[in-house]
Structure 1
Amino acid sequence: MILQRLAQLVRDDGGLLAAALRQEVDAPTPYGDAIASAPRAAGHIADLPLVIEAVREGYLLHYGEPRLMSREDDDLALLAGDRLYALGLERLADAGDLAAVAALADLIALSAQAQAASDARLADAVWAAGCAELGWGSTPDLEQAKDAARAGETDAAERLGSAARHIAGDLALAR
């Protein structure tokens, strides 16, 4: 359901991205599903499950196998990924939730850093931590773990995962 709503937003925008949508969209949305039960999601006008899945789709367009669009055209995939990152950030900014904007910006930046280092374990931990922060809020441990990731510390993935579990339990570990 979340991906169908996201696909409709892309269709409503029209243009090349709308034309690149797959006909059938039926894939799991573990991050959106996890955030749907989070305390910050209740009544949030930005629709946090949609926000996290838009950013996840942008990430997959850049680094993986997207669910909504094809990666046949690398330039279009990069453009679409950037647009979906922007869609998530824009919804949070319009809602006035600057803490969530900062959390999402950190998730985007740290996941790009993990990809640049070819560190899948760190990328997974960044997503768990970002999901936890967006849905449940931050903690000093999480902020320190993000600093460790920025600094390239070898234990950053463990620290991010531990902080995510402390904040959101196993819900943050969706894949």
Structure 2
Amino acid sequence: MSVLERLADLVRQDGGLLADALHADGGWDRLRTPYGDAVARGPRADGHPADLPLVLEAVREGYLLHYGAPRLMSRDDDDLALLAGDRLYALGLERLAAAGDLVAVAALSDLIALSAQAQSSRDPALADAVWAAGCAEVGWGPSDALQAAKNGAVAGENDAAERLVAAARQVAGDLAPAL
């Protein structure tokens, strides 16, 4: 079962309006999951009780409900899409918290905040770089280079996207282009 199929099952189990918003046609096993796939390659993912690829794809789907074209759910109702996105962010964070992985909770919180900042600045390159750095940090762990690059992004530095991608590559190898 693919990561997105597992995520859809979790949403169905919760029931309610979010379950009703799932696309009826399914077919999620055919969709790309580059963020979950990238994190799965990291040493922190092996046997992680929170299922790091699922966590990343839940947060990605939440992000897409807020800012893009979601894969699992309808955006027919903007208010519901916003709430569904928030719920998927929470799903990822609560799975990490339940596993006691506060390092990944912090990394995921930064990813959510910095991607929102990139969207508000209308900077798609920065948003992509934030996702690369977030995947590196969740899958491989924190580093001084990632933290410095994230601080630069928060400060609005002009080279923040490049620094985030460079830090992600330093931590996780050639991860960024795969995203």
TM bracket, shorter-chain basis? over 0.9
Instruction: Please name the residue that 1:165 is paired with.
Output: 169
Instruction: Please name the residue that 2:154 is paired with.
Output: 150
* TM-score (normalizing by structure 2): 0.96
1:124 aligns to 2:120 (yes or no): no
1:52 aligns to 2:56 (yes or no): yes
Question: 1:32-88: CA deviations, max 9, x gaps?
Answer: 111112100011100000000000000000000000001110000000000000000
How many aligned residue pairs are there?
175
Question: In the superposition, relative to structure 1, how do residues 172 and 135 fare at CA in structure 2: closer, same or farther (>3 Å)?
Answer: farther
Aligned-pair CA distance for 1:170: 1.9
Question: Contact 1:165–1:173 at 8 Å: present in 2 too?
Answer: no
Gaps of 5+ in 1: none
Q: Using the alignment, how far apart are the partners of 1:164 and 1:173 within structure 2?
A: 10
State how 1:1-175 maps to structure 2 within 5 Å. 1-23=2-24, 24=26, 25=28, 26-175=30-179
Aligned-pair CA distance for 1:27: 1.2
Gaps of 5+ in 2: none
The one-letter code of the counterpart of 2:10 is L
Backbone CA RMSD of aligned residues? 0.8
Question: Contact 2:129–2:176 at 8 Å: present in 1 too?
Answer: no
* TM-score (normalizing by structure 1): 0.98
Q: SS of the counterpart of 2:32?
A: coil
Q: Using the alignment, how far apart are the partners of 1:19 and 1:66 within structure 2?
A: 15
Aligned-pair CA distance for 1:174: 3.3
After the TM superposition, list the runs of 4 or more consecutive aligned residues in structure 1 that deviate by more than 4 angstroms: none
